[in-house]
A and B are shown apart, each in its own frame.
Chain A
């Protein structure tokens, strides 16, 4: 029965960024029952008869991945910071690492409340939101497999200044605050990696601040989509317009209009909560360039690390 289905790879195309899904969807009759059901978010997969493949929608793909791979067997090295640790240092931290599944909109920490755990995302993405009043927020950072949530602890502060909310659900490894602190003090590589990461996160926040002040909603949306794609390492991901509107601090209608314009230009395809980047280069041109600047500062840090042989 379906409950015991093992996620197969044979005959199944889930490779990201291919125009296959768009091509198949274009073959469906406009206004037909299949199209209507897709727009209502009620479809998990389409069949590509040209290539004789089954293509899953992002939400279905994610759900199947999470049920087929128990969190305990996920590879912690999918996180770049954990992957950088030499074996002895990783082993010291290993006993405290706990695999967890993060759900959409789960709050990992709140401003002013003590940090209980630090999180190393594996395939989840966490949005860092600066609060302005009880209801208004602005995204000032995005953390994926390359980073960690709980940076204030590395600076000797145990309460965050931002809310960390899960944007893309998925797996992460978490460590209780006290054990992380202990490992941080003992591991030179961890300190080195996180010092660089703190700088990268700071650079990202500064760039996003400038972007929010000077760029159009369409440019900011394009930048946000590219940043998400970088972190999920796929051009296909789940995303609601409501969440993005909230993260960018704008009205939902404005995001809807901007997404509509990008879609009309053939840069993205958006089907009720499922986003696909169809033309990554085109989307980069449509964006403000802030995503490239953020990426470039990350690359600088990583190349500096390599030249310093940062593996102490």
Chain B
């Protein structure tokens, strides 16, 4: 399999569409640390070069989480391409994350 064939694609967008992700965490609490690690691995494997990741620590910026309607942390939000989706938990279920961010249909 050539590298081009393994290049990830997002559903409904071409492979150059940037996926904007925002991960809400609670400092270095165990699930938050795990979520960051898992997400970075997923991005490295499936979204290399075509994503933008922003991490929001709700202990430092609670208002940002509240204005986004976040209920729990960790929460990963895919901001674009639309539709916006979200997944909660430590992101250990890679398949669930890939579906949520539109890589698997």
Bound-complex Cα distance A59 to B72 (A): 15
- Chain A residues lying within 8 Å of B25, measured Cβ to Cβ, are 2, 44
Q: Does B101 contact A (CB under 8 A)?
A: no
- Check if B32 sits within 8 Å of A2, measured CB to CB: yes
Residue of A with least CB distance to B55: A2
A28-B71, A43-B31, A43-B88 known; A2 and B36 CB under 8 Å?
yes
Chain B contact residue count (CB 8 A cutoff): 28
Q: Which partner residue on chain A sits nearest B36 by CB separation?
A: A2
Whether a CB of chain B sits under 8 angstroms from the CB of A34 is yes
Asked if B62 and A33 make an inter-chain contact with CB atoms under 8 angstroms apart, the answer reads no
Contacting residues, chain A, for B66 (C-beta < 8 A): 47, 49, 52
Given known A37-B89, A67-B28, contact A5–B72 (CB-CB < 8 A): no
B88 partner, pick from A8, A33, A56, beta carbons under 8 A: A33
CB distance from A229 to the nearest CB of B (A): 22
How many Å lie between the Cα of A136 and that of B75 in the bound state?
42
Cβ-based interface call for B82 (8 A): no
Across the two chains, which residue of chain B brings its CB closest to A28? B71
Residues of B within 8 A of A67 (CB): 28
Residues of B contacting A11 with CB < 8 Å? 62
B9–chain A nearest beta-carbon distance, Å: 26
Enumerate B9-58 residues with CB–CB distance to A below 8 Å.
Answer: 25-33, 36, 55, 57-58
Contact indicator per residue, chain A 29-69, by CB within 8 Å of chain B (1) or not (0) = 00001100110111111110100111010011001100100
Binding site for A on B (CB under 8 A): 25-33, 36, 55, 57-60, 62, 65-66, 70-74, 87-90, 92
The 9 closest A-B pairs by CB, nearest first: A60-B29, A42-B89, A44-B29, A5-B27, A37-B89, A45-B26, A44-B26, A42-B90, A37-B88
